[in-house]
């Protein structure tokens, strides 16, 4: 067996988490940082919900991977087949091996279509779509913008969906479109949410519920979709805490939007690094982001089980924790802690957006404490849609934020 190629820090995943961490480590003085990423195109994924709402295109969110790689970071264009934490080795799909001093796993998560039988077949039709896949995000707006009558059903899962509340963006953007085109009164709108709340911040949850009530949207919380029949265009759902005899709920649809359950890449569980829960997510200490059995392994982003809402905005707090804790592990310094901070930007119209920031306990964690960002504003919508992508490409994934 050939000797594995050694690197100081190996990062698996070239998305927001991986590039932001790589840039931060380089800024902190790391000389040998490698990012493993098979895709040649980098996506700013938060814009997908705007694509699904007709306010952005795929060209707005795509960049060549080579163009966004932080200076001084080596890119290994390959997929991961497995990780051997006992040997401190990443095994590549192409047959090579990378030996590491520290390993950061942030390959993201993937849609788990099997969690809702029939949902994958449904999104292959013109009557169902999701904003969690680029091509389907385009299909979402085509489906919603051409609907003139019938029932539109929006489904938001609670099973590790990246920033699940942004699934409300296509809903609110579609409502405005239907009102502007004069067809809103001909469309019945249902929202099925698996969680007990729309978002884990009480003030934001109340505002969103009020906005939906004012727009005549029927909301069913604590409702889990269990199957979809693409042929008959019906779904079946189970509602918690309802009177006996009222389950299951069966709904027909003319347009179906799904924010679907997600799971980790299969190799995470196969490497013995995952939790025992469904989904195979990476097991880490939710405060230090360090694997409890393999101290050279770290996890952040959507792949990690952090007891917090996975979101791109959460990485703003996760990345510095991992970067500093890698150094602390080597020097015996004090570990920094991640409090579960996350963020949910939700449009309430085509020109208004509220920003919910909170920790894992549901406590408010505003980044601008002297302004109520939970109140829907034109300025926050403009920042989220136009300015934030520029900050992302020019500074965030370069490790400068």
pLDDT at position 124: 98
pLDDT at position 243: 65
Percent above pLDDT 70 for the chain: 98
Same domain for 135 and 251?
yes
Same domain for 287 and 180?
no
Same domain for 81 and 136?
no
Using pLDDT thresholds of 50, 70 and 90, give the confidence band for residue 245.
Answer: low
User: For residue 331, is it within any domain?
Assistant: yes
Rounded mean pLDDT, 176-200: 98
Residue given tokens 């590549």 in the structure block: 92
Q: What is the DSSP string of 288-329?
A: T-B-SS-TTEEE-GGGEE-SS---TTTHHHHHHHHHHHHHHH
pLDDT at position 278: 80
Rounded mean pLDDT, 19-35: 96
| Residue 1 in this model has a pLDDT that exceeds 60 | no
The total number of structural domains that make up the chain: 2
- Domain boundary residue among 234, 261, 288? 261
Same domain for 176 and 186?
yes
pLDDT at position 284: 98
The per-residue pLDDT for range 67-101, each reduced to its tens digit, is 999 999 999 999 999 999 999 999 999 999 999 99
Query: Distance (Å, rounded) from C-alpha 217 to C-alpha 204?
Result: 17
Query: Distance (Å, rounded) from C-alpha 393 to C-alpha 120?
Result: 32
User: For residue 129, is it within any domain?
Assistant: yes
- Domain boundary residue among 240, 261, 282? 261
| Residue 369 in this model has a pLDDT that exceeds 90 | no
pLDDT at position 57: 98
CATH number for the domain spanning 158: value is 3.50.50.60
The separation between CA 282 and the C-alpha centre of its own chain, rounded to angstroms, equals 15
Residue 27 neighbours by CB distance under 10 Å: 15
SS3 annotation, 174-185: HHHHHHHCCCHH
Q: What are phi and psi of 354, to 5 degrees?
A: -105, 150
Rounded mean pLDDT, 274-295: 95
Same domain for 105 and 237?
no
Integer CA distances (angstroms), 337 to 162, 298, 363, in order:
21, 13, 16
| Residue 62 in this model has a pLDDT that exceeds 80 | yes
pLDDT at position 400: 79
| Residue 276 in this model has a pLDDT that exceeds 90 | no
pTM: 0.96
pLDDT at position 2: 65
pLDDT at position 33: 98
- Domain boundary residue among 261, 290, 321? 261
- Domain residues for 227? 111-261
Same domain for 98 and 12?
yes
| Residue 151 in this model has a pLDDT that exceeds 60 | yes
Q: What is the largest CA-CA distance in the chain?
A: 69
Using pLDDT thresholds of 50, 70 and 90, give the confidence band for residue 244.
Answer: low
Using pLDDT thresholds of 50, 70 and 90, give the confidence band for residue 358.
Answer: very high
Beta carbons within 8 Å of 306's beta carbon, 6+ residues apart: 284, 286, 289, 299, 300, 314, 318, 338, 340, 360
| Residue 3 in this model has a pLDDT that exceeds 90 | no
């Amino acid at each position: 067996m050939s000797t594995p190629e050694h690197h100081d820090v190996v990062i698996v995943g070239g998305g927001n988490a991986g590039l932001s961490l790589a840039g931060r480590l380089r800024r902190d003085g790391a000389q040998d940082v490698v990012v493993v990423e098979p895709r040649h195109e980098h996506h700013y994924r938060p814009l997908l919900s705007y694509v699904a709402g007709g306010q952005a295109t795929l060209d707005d969110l795509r960049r060549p991977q080579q163009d966004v790689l932080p200076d001084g970071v080596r890119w290994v264009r390959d997929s991961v087949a497995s990780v051997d934490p006992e040997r401190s080795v990443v095994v590549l799909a192409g047959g090579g091996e990378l030996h590491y001093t520290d390993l950061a796993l942030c390959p993201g998560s993937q849609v788990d279509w099997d969690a809702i039988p029939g949902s994958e077949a449904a999104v292959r039709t013109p009557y169902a779509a999701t904003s969690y896949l680029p091509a389907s995000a385009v299909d979402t707006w085509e489906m919603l913008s051409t609907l003139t009558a019938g029932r539109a059903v929006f489904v938001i899962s609670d099973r590790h969906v990246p920033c699940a509340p942004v699934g409300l963006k296509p809903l609110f953007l579609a409502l405005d479109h239907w009102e502007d085109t004069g067809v809103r009164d001909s469309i019945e709108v249902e929202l099925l949410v698996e969680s007990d709340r729309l978002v884990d911040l009480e003030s934001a949850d109340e505002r969103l519920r009020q906005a939906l009530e004012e727009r005549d949207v029927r909301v069913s919380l604590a409702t889990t979709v269990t199957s979809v029949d693409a042929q008959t265009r019906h779904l079946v759902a189970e509602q918690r805490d309802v009177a006996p005899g009222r389950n299951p709920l069966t709904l027909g649809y003319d347009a179906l939007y799904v924010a679907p359950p997600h799971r980790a890449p299969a190799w995470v569980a196969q490497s013995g690094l995952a939790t025992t829960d469904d989904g195979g997510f990476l097991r880490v200490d939710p405060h230090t982001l360090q694997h409890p059995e393999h101290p050279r392994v770290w996890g952040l982003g959507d792949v990690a089980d952090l007891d917090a809402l996975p979101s791109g905005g959460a990485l703003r707090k996760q990345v510095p924790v991992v970067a500093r804790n890698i150094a602390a592990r080597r020097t015996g310094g004090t570990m920094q802690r991640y409090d579960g901070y996350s963020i949910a930007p939700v449009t309430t119209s085509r020109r208004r957006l509220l920003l919910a920031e909170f920790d894992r306990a549901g406590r408010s964690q505003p980044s601008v404490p002297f302004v109520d960002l939970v109140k829907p504003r034109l300025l926050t919508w403009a920042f989220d849609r136009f300015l934030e992508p520029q900050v992302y490409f020019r500074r965030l994934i370069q490790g400068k934020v």
